[in-house]
Structure formats: C-alpha cells, structure tokens
Structure 1
Amino acid sequence: MNTLLPVQAKRSISLLCAAIALACCGCPPAPPSQEEQRQSATSRWITVESNSRDEESNPILDQDDLNRIVNALPTISTFVVERVKSGKIETEHNVAEATVCGTRPEYFQLLKEVARVELQQGRFFDTIEAAEGARIVVLSGSLAKKLFDEADPIDRKVILERQELTVVGVVSDGVPWGTAVTRDAYVPLGLFGPGADQSAPVPYDRFRFHVKTLDQVENTQAIIRNIIERHHPDQDIRVHSSLSRH
C-alpha cells in the first residue's frame, strides 16, 4: 500500500500546521507608532524643582546636588539644567518682555521630545559655548517676530541685561501642552553663572533627568527624591514625572 500523500494534501497539512502555530503563538506585535515612541520618551523625563522659587529668591539647587544624583544613578541617560530669568530683550527698534532660559545644548533634546519644538533657522549652541557663556541667543519663533518682524534675525544683535548677544538660531514655539519646558529665548548657561562669588556652587532653578527605560522611572525618581530630601530637609523641592502626581 502506498503511504505517500499527494502533493496537494501535503500542502493542506502544512497550511493547517502553520495556522495552528500562529493561533497558539499569536501575531507578532506591531512596531510602536511615532506618537507612542514620543510619549514613551516624554514619560522618561524626571523634573526636580523648588516649589517656592520666585523672582526674588535665590535658586536652591546647585552643582553638588546634580553630581550626587548623576553619580548615584546609572539609569540616567542624559540630563539638562535650567536657570530662568524674566526681563526685557531689546533691538534697535523693538523691545519685548521675555522669559529666558540659561541652559546646555541637551535642552534642545527635551524641547523636541516634550514640546515637539523644531529648529527653524540657524542652530542651537554647543557644549563649549554653554560652558564659556558665549554671548549668543536662540529665539522662539514668536519672540523673533516681535523683535525683527519679517526680517531675518540670524546674526542680528539683541540686548539682554545690558549684554549684547548675537542671534544664532530660531526654534518653533512648540505644542500647547509643552509650555512647561518652552521659553521665549535660550542662552548658554554661563551667561547666568554663579555671580560675584565665583567659589560658590553654580545655582540652578531646575534639573531634568532622562531615564534609559520606562520601567526604571519610578525607582529612579524615588532615589532622586531621597537624595534631595537628605541634603535639603527643610526645603520644599518637588521631584516629579508624567508618571507621578507629586
């Protein structure tokens, strides 16, 4: 008796086996969409800031705090720091009230991920310029329009706190839900340095830490909170992320 199956029967059996295997294992997951990737990146940012910060008080956070956190946590992939001042920015013909962020070049990564900010003209400043306090500025699109109307702002001069700065870039204003990170202008951190006492730690208004993976955020946040509370027991400093309510 010939036990060999016809070719068509073999094909049917193969298809049936494949269908059973697919049903048991499930379909392979679809790759994450761009929006899902953006939300995941956004959720991995942890913010440390004083709840009592105002224009008249001195920043509480300093370089020692930053070093303690970064050295203790290998789960942090990058970080940004921020000093914020409000005041007038002037050109030869126009003047505007602006909130200005003194920071490092990594801040642009935060702007892109959290507020969908894009570079419209020129460039952001680099690491050396940030450390040396180069006299340059990056404007938001809305501030550039207030100061220069329809003229090209790149390489033009503005006055901030009696300092003449050169415009090197213009970025978009970002999405409405990104206002927690967007500012009117961005300057190298060194322009807002430690002040008259050069031996004092550089003061900051805010730290933002980017965690390597989403499942590391809660533990990383808890460790940061413990470090802050240990060294600032009497200060009202908030440690939070989009995954937390406090």
Structure 2
Amino acid sequence: MNFYFLRTLKLGLKSLLLQRMRAGLAALGIFIGTMTVIWLVAIGEGVSYQAQQQILELGAKNIIVRSVKPVPSGDGEQSNSRFPKYGLLREDYERIVSNIPSISRAIPMREIVYELRVEDRNADSKLVGCVFDYLELNRLQVARGRWLSPRDDGSKVVVLADETAKKLFPYQDPIGKSVWLGDDLYVVIGQTQPRDAAAAIGGSLDARDFNRDAYIPLETLRIHIGDQVMTQVGGNRQGEIVQLSQITVAVRSVETVDEVASIISSLLQRFHEQDDYAVVVPKELLRQAERTRAMFNALLVVIAGISLLVGGIGIMNIMLATVTERTREIGIRRAIGAKRRDIIQQFLSETLLLSGGGGLLGVLCGLMVGPLFSLTRQLVTSVSPDLLPPIVHAIEPRIALWSVGLSVFISLGTGLIFGVYPARKAAMMNPIDALRHE
C-alpha cells in the first residue's frame, strides 16, 4: 500500500514537472496565503504584546484600596458629627505590607481639596500627601526642579502641577518661591509636566486631572495639617477625619491580583465596623486587551484565508485545464485497467503536491517574519527616518505556533477540497470517448 502511494506521488510529481510554469503559478497562491497567515498573526501578536505590556504598566497589576465616606444612617453618632471619621488607617497600610508577602509595593496617599495662595493669586487645588513612588505610579514627569524624596519627610516643601503652577506663578519660575498653604509657607521644589486626565489607570480610581494638583510629603501633611481638616471651596465647608485616602497595592503577577484583593478585603473587614473602604481591581484592562487580540487575530486569519481561497480556486482552474489536456492519457489508463479511484488518487496527489509544496514554502518564509520585518524597517528608516510612526519601531513580531499549524492545515485542506472536482471529472470520463479525444 505504501509502495502504491509513493508511486502515485511520484507519477503526480512527474506530471507537474512537465508544466513547471503552470504548476508554479498555481502553488504561488497557496504560498502567499500560507505566508500571509503566519505573518499577519505574528505581527498581530507583536502589537498585542506591546499593548498588554503598556496596559500592565498602566495598572493592570495594581489593586486600589480607597476610603469611601459611608452614607449617613440618620440615627447614629456618625451622622451628627461635624467631623465624620472614616476610611483607611495607617495601621491598615502596615497590616497589608506585613501580612501579604506577594506584593511588590504599597503606596499610601492622602488627598484633600485645598487653597494655595501667592500674594493676590490663589488656586483651588487637590493637595496630595504622597511618597516618592507616587511619581512613577501615576506616570508623572518633572518639568522643573525635582520630585519629593524621603529626606523631605516632615519638611514644608511642595511640588506644583502644571496648571497650578501657572495660576500661582504666571510669569515666573516657581522653583524656590514660597506658597501659602493655610497658615504655613511652603517652598516650591518642583513642577510636573502637563498630563492628560486618567480614569482607573495607575493609581487613579476616578477621572483625575493631574494638572491641578499640588504634592507634599505624606508625613508633612500628617504633622502640619493633620487628619482632621475643614475645607472651604466655592462657599461650601466640609469637614472630615481621614488618615489615608488611598493605598495602591502592586502585585508581582497578574495571576495573583484576585487572590491578593480577597486577602486585603478580609484584613480590612476584621478591623472596620463600617463599609468605609472599597477594594477595586482594574484587571478589566488586561481582559479587554485579550479580547481585542482575539478579535484582531480572527480578522487577520479571515483576510489570510481569503488569500488561500483564491489560491485554491487557482489550483482548481489549473487542474481542470490539465484534465482537458490529458483526456487521451486518462482514456489510455482506463483502457489498460486503471480504476476510477486510481484516476482520482492521481489527480488528488497532484493537487496535494501543489498545495503542500506551496504551503511548506509559505511556512519557511513565514518563519522569517522577524528578520524580514526588521530589515524592511531599517531600509525604510534609512530612506526616510520620519516615515514610520513610533509604534512600528517598538513592534517585534511574535510567531504563534498555532498559526503555523493552521496555515498548513488550511493549505492542504484547500488543495484537497478544490482538487476533488477535477479528479472526479477525470475519473468519470468514458474510456471510449477519452480515447477518441484529439
């Protein structure tokens, strides 16, 4: 049986070699389709990987623990207090850090609405008491001066956001100048660059305008302003007693986010009598990236599949022409005893050789997507450095093994499907009519 199969393939190969140009053009469509599947999926995987890495940096591995003001019940002491006490405690931060070894860092912060003054100018800003890591967490950049450092703890220094600095110092460099925060003077040591508003990204839970902030050391806020504050903005006076507004917990692996969030919820539940906190997991960012990648890959496979379909139609067209040209040969084989299945096997072997050969060459070229993509990028850059957008320079194709198997399967399947009709047409010929064919 194996000998018969090999002999059929050998006969099919000889038949194809008699029409090299025609066979090559027929296999070219399968070659292009197979290579396209691997290339498009590899580039799509590269784009998806870059997007997921950026999403991870934006906060997919962060757990945001935030103070939430409870809804007054109307009959308790809390509702009658002028300064309601609620939210996260410094002890909560210590418990999280000391009891959960799988976290990479925990960043506390306290924010209040506060008025900053310089001579006759003022700005209602969000005063943020934070630590050194707050800069990297929220992807802020320093435009002038420097950021807060651990040695500033307890000192009256402030870093102004872009819009806040321009309101207080419209024509001056604010570095080294003094700003009134309440009854205390603070020295400006830095100014951050403009930044777009963000929602649930990095260390931000709400839609935040970082350009209107002012940043002081968390320890400075505790010592000089305290937990009990009364603010007046737009004629409204609000008081509260809150130690920490938020703790952003970063874990080492995305897979442990849900587990760590559950542990944090259990810890806080033991020491809080009221629901004055919220644990938020922004991992939906990563899930959305996964869904986008799946849809993107499906679209690419459909586009490449169309190329394979066109290649298959080309093979069927070639094989139909071959059947017509070899009608007399088919009649002779039938006359000397060849059965219909022998004719079908002969023509199917030829189509499989065409599609399989084109598919294998397409796989080999598809596996070269990385070097060829880099070479093309270098050539384009050498001709015009600004022609390609920055994202193209960051993309590195990532070959997906499933795309290789899928492309080979589709190419062989295409050859088989589109070769059945010509093979059956050849097998169903009447031997007498075939021998008379000129």
TM range (shorter): 0.7 to 0.9
Match of 1:98, SS? Answer: strand
Alignment correspondent of 1:107: 134
- Give the RMSD, CA atoms, in angstroms: 2.9
Q: Superposition pairs for residues 182-221 of structure 1, below 5 Å?
A: 182=210, 184-193=213-222, 195=226, 203-221=243-261
Residues in 1 aligned to 2:85 and 2:54: alpha-carbon distance in whole angstroms: 34
Structure 1 residues 59 and 138, CA gap change in structure 2 (3 angstroms):
farther
Tell me how far 1:69 sits from its aligned partner. Answer: 1.0
- Conservation of the 8 A alpha-carbon contact between 1:50 and 1:236: yes
Counterpart among 33, 44, 52 of residue 36 in structure 1 = 52
Alignment correspondent of 2:272: 232
Alignment correspondent of 2:88: 61
Alignment correspondent of 2:263: 223
Paired AA for residue 107 in structure 2: V
Alignment correspondent of 1:146: 167
Residues in 1 aligned to 2:101 and 2:110: alpha-carbon distance in whole angstroms: 25
Is 1:128 the counterpart of 2:141? The answer is no
Structure 2: segments with no counterpart, 5+ residues: 1-37, 72-81, 229-241, 286-438
More helix by share: 2
More strand by share: 1
Residues in 2 aligned to 1:159 and 1:53: alpha-carbon distance in whole angstroms: 32
Residues in 1 aligned to 2:99 and 2:252: alpha-carbon distance in whole angstroms: 14
Aligned identity (percent) is: 25
Residues in 1 aligned to 2:66 and 2:284: alpha-carbon distance in whole angstroms: 14
Residues in 1 aligned to 2:270 and 2:246: alpha-carbon distance in whole angstroms: 18
Alignment correspondent of 2:65: 48
Counterpart among 74, 87, 107 of residue 101 in structure 2 = 74
Bigger CA drift: 137-146 or 91-100? 91-100
Larger Rg belongs to: 2
What is the number of residues matched between the two proteins?
A: 211
Residues in 1 aligned to 2:122 and 2:112: alpha-carbon distance in whole angstroms: 16
Match of 1:153, SS? Answer: coil
Tell me how far 1:191 sits from its aligned partner. Answer: 2.1
Q: For residues 76-116 of structure 1, what are the alpha-carbon distances to aligned partners after superposition, in whole Å with 9 as ceiling and x for unaligned?
A: 1111111112121011241111110011111112111xxxx
Match of 1:177, SS? Answer: coil
Residues in 2 aligned to 1:136 and 1:111: alpha-carbon distance in whole angstroms: 20
Structure 1: segments with no counterpart, 5+ residues: 1-22
Q: For residues 195-239 of structure 1, what are the alpha-carbon distances to aligned partners after superposition, in whole Å with 9 as ceiling and x for unaligned?
A: 499xxxx92121111111211111111110111111114233100
Question: What TM-score comes out, normalization by structure 2 length?
Answer: 0.44
